């Protein structure tokens, strides 16, 4: 197989650094920077997301490799050492997501935060990581689509020479499906960036929107690929998948052949299930009241109780003053008299009684005047 670009970027002695690893590292870094930037809006420490990435990236790679090897075990069972050679390619995005999500759930719980709030912040970073990471497949000449003509790549898609040349594999040009997915993932990124500034968005919904957007892209691009993991399922299900992919045929695209002779692509089926589940779960969370927090609300640790302000503390220490504040506009609030006021009122009342008594005695004792 002739490569237009060398998959090895450089070497240090016996150590060879592959472009695939550099690209994946760049993808993780860009995702981290996006998460840190958004996290600062909520007053979160950047170290929180750095630690999450340090744990999440290895978990994602392990999950991606396990997922891929599990479905292609016949290619690895006689050569187990190849299982660990990730730089040769052969990782599955859905497996990476499974590994990353499991890691994130454990990490956020141990840190005392809601998984949904943190997942929302990380969602744009995930999709930009996938958009960049697909270029690793480009370097390795893998995850491509079915055969096409050179004229299609140059004249219809107007691709630059370095992409066209890299799509020439064993004398045949192929669909650059890595490029299709990368471009549409960037479009999903823009949609997520717009959505997260909308007031109607509830906690967890940006993360679910990421899954919906990516799964739509993956469903249509997957149909072009020739290396899809597949299986033989019921005819009605295969017909359903083919029917859903019909818009691509209307645009003039042809589906790629299935490597293992099945009739259903696993990633396509999984994409449809994820879309349906995400939509249903989003509606359920709203109707059940589970999605109370909004995306724009402050991110607080679970069980967080806000400390009272100085004004609230003063009001609590001075109940008399607090009671003098009207609770409803236009309705006066009667303030109970203090002890000093009560004593003064009694004293004043006693003196008034005494004065009236003295006046009465004067009237009684006063000798009536003799009439003239």
Same structural domain for residues 12 and 128? yes
Q: Is position 165 within any domain?
A: yes
**DSSP-based three-state secondary structure for 334:** coil
Same structural domain for residues 217 and 101? no
Residue 253 domain boundaries: 152-290
The pLDDT value recorded for residue 244 is: 96
Same structural domain for residues 123 and 11? yes
Please say whether the beta carbons of 62 and 99 come within 8 A: yes
Same structural domain for residues 132 and 45? yes
Same structural domain for residues 78 and 174? no
Please say whether the beta carbons of 192 and 127 come within 8 A: yes
Q: Is position 198 within any domain?
A: yes
Residues of the chain scoring pLDDT < 70: 1-4, 87-89, 304-372
The pLDDT value recorded for residue 349 is: 56
Same structural domain for residues 236 and 167? yes
Same structural domain for residues 157 and 27? no
Each residue's pLDDT tens digit, 316-368: 566 555 444 444 444 555 556 665 666 566 566 555 555 555 555 554 445 55
Q: Is position 348 within any domain?
A: no
Same structural domain for residues 136 and 156? no
Same structural domain for residues 16 and 36? yes
Structure-token pair, residue 141? 């000449």
Same structural domain for residues 174 and 246? yes
Q: Is position 336 within any domain?
A: no
The pLDDT value recorded for residue 84 is: 81
Q: Is position 265 within any domain?
A: yes
Q: Given 290, 311, 341, which residue is the final one in a domain?
A: 290
Each residue's pLDDT tens digit, 98-154: 999 999 999 999 999 999 999 999 999 999 999 999 999 899 888 899 999 999 999
The pLDDT value recorded for residue 308 is: 60
Same structural domain for residues 249 and 133? no
The pLDDT value recorded for residue 222 is: 95
The pLDDT value recorded for residue 13 is: 84
d(Cα 42, Cα 48) in Å, to the nearest integer?
12
Q: Which runs of consecutive H residues, i.e. helices, occur in the chain?
A: 19-41, 46-71, 93-111, 115-140, 150-151, 161-166, 177-195, 205-222, 235-244, 246-250, 266-288, 310-317, 319-323, 339-365
Cα angle 199, 202, 208; round to 5 = 120
Q: How many domains does the chain have?
A: 2
d(Cα 62, Cα 69) in Å, to the nearest integer?
11
Q: Is position 360 within any domain?
A: no
Q: Is position 297 within any domain?
A: no
Q: Is position 370 within any domain?
A: no
Q: What is the DSSP letter of 257?
A: P
Same structural domain for residues 167 and 222? yes
The pLDDT value recorded for residue 365 is: 47
């Amino acid at each position: 197989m002739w490569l237009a670009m060398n998959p090895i970027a450089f070497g240090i002695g016996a150590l060879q650094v592959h472009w695939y690893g550099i690209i994946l590292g760049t993808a993780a870094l860009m995702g981290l920077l996006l998460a840190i930037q958004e996290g600062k809006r909520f007053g979160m420490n950047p170290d929180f997301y750095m630690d999450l990435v340090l744990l999440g990236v290895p978990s994602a790679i392990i999950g991606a490799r396990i997922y891929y090897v599990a479905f292609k075990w016949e290619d690895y069972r006689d050569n187990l050492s190849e299982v660990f050679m990730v730089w040769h390619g052969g990782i599955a995005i859905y497996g990476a997501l499974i590994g990353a999500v499991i890691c994130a759930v454990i990490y956020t719980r141990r840190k005392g935060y809601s998984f949904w709030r943190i997942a929302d912040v990380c969602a744009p970073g995930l999709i930009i990581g996938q958009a960049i990471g697909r270029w690793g497949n480009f370097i390795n000449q893998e995850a491509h689509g079915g055969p096409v003509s050179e004229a299609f790549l140059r004249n219809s898609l107007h691709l630059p020479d370095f992409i066209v040349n890299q799509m020439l594999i064993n004398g045949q040009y192929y669909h650059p499906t890595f490029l299709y997915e990368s471009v549409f993932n960037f479009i999903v990124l823009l949609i997520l960036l717009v959505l997260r500034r909308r007031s109607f968005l509830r906690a967890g919904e940006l993360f679910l929107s990421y899954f919906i957007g990516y799964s739509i892209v993956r469903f249509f691009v997957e149909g072009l690929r020739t290396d899809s993991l597949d299986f033989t399922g019921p005819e009605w299900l295969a017909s359903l998948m083919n029917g859903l992919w019909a818009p691509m045929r209307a645009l003039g695209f042809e589906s790629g052949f299935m490597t293992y002779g099945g009739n259903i692509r696993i990633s396509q089926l999984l994409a449809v299930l994820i879309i349906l589940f995400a939509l249903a779960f989003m509606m359920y969370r709203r109707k059940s009241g589970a999605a109370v927090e909004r995306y724009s609300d402050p991110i607080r640790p679970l069980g967080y109780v806000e400390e009272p302000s100085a004004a609230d503390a003063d009001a609590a220490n001075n109940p008399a003053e607090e009671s003098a504040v009207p609770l409803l506009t236009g309705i006066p609030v009667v303030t109970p008299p203090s002890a000093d006021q009560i004593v003064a009122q009694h004293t004043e009342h006693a003196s008034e009684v005494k004065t009236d008594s003295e006046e009465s005695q004067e009237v009684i004792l006063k000798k009536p005047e003799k009439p003239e």
